[in-house]
A and B are shown apart, each in its own frame.
Chain A
Amino acid sequence: DSGVTQTPKHLITATGQRVTLRCSPRSGDLSVYWYQQSLDQGLQFLIQYYNGEERAKGNILERFSAQQFPDLHSELNLSSLELGDSALYFCASSVEGGETQYFGPGTRLLVL
């Protein structure tokens, strides 16, 4: 158990819908990272927050957004969902930006 928690574990929704994924980092970690893992693309970095502020952006679509709250938990919002958004979404956390990242168990999203 890495200490990073993610909810929900599974999510099934329809195209065009909007969902929110939640992540709680390890105690004491200030940085939260979001990754997408699909069968054909491997693990892709989406976005990083550090102590409430956006720090780095990767291949995140405009339909996706994230935020980190004062209690350091983070939410990833996915809107106008498409079939191709079906994937595992992982959250990771680290003490500060750049050190070892510890991953949560992931949220499996299925868009029908």
Chain B
Amino acid sequence: EDQVTQSPEALRLQEGESSSLNCSYTVSGLRGLFWYRQDPGKGPEFLFTLYSAGEEKEKERLKATLTKKESFLHITAPKPEDSATYLCAVRSNDYKLSFGAGTTVTVRA
């Protein structure tokens, strides 16, 4: 069974204080690792898809990287509007996504 573990559970940052979120996974045949952002009471918003070790994707202050066993989401110089729960998910040979529990990021001004 696919497993996704995210750490830390919660992260409190000062505005401008860069940090990283971790997503470790075990999957039989990775067909994609996905990062989503979720605001309270809203649907997950797609951020990135990574397919192979060594791949990196960037969008504004966010950068996602992938190794064979984990992925990192780096937040550079965060702003209060980056406050959200960040979800990691993996897809193996079937079609479903297996999600981690998420990291809740709070950025204080």
Contacts and interface: CB of A to CB of B under 8 A. Distances in A.
Contacts of A98: 31-32, 91, 95
B101 A90 contact: no
A67 to B, nearest CB: 17
A105 B42 contact: yes
B43 A56 contact: no
Given A43-B99, A98-B32, A103 B91 contact: no
Given A43-B44, A106-B43, A108-B41, A100 B95 contact: no
A56 to B, nearest CB: 5
Interface size class of A (residues with CB under 8 A): 20 to 34
A84 B48 CA distance: 32
Contacts of B43: 2, 4, 90, 92, 103-106
A42 B94 contact: no
Most buried by B among A31, A98, A99: A98
Interface size class of B (residues with CB under 8 A): 20 to 34
Interface in B82-98: 87, 89, 91, 94-98
B46 A101 contact: yes
Contacts of A50: 95
Contact of A45 (B32, B46, B49, B98): B98
A102 B96 contact: no
A48 B99 CA distance: 15
A58 interface: yes
Nearest to B42: A105
A55 interface: yes
For the complex of A and B, 8 pairs with smallest distance between CB atoms: A103-B43, A45-B96, A43-B99, A97-B95, A56-B95, A103-B44, A42-B101, A105-B43
22 contacts: A2-B46, A4-B43, A31-B95, A33-B95, A33-B96, A33-B97, A42-B100, A43-B87, A43-B99, A45-B98, A48-B95, A50-B95, A56-B95, A58-B96, A88-B41, A98-B31, A98-B95, A103-B36, A103-B43, A105-B42, A106-B41, A106-B42
Given A4-B43, A43-B44, 18 more contacts: A2-B45, A31-B95, A42-B101, A43-B99, A45-B98, A56-B94, A56-B95, A56-B96, A97-B95, A101-B34, A103-B43, A103-B44, A103-B45, A104-B43, A105-B43, A106-B41, A106-B42, A108-B41
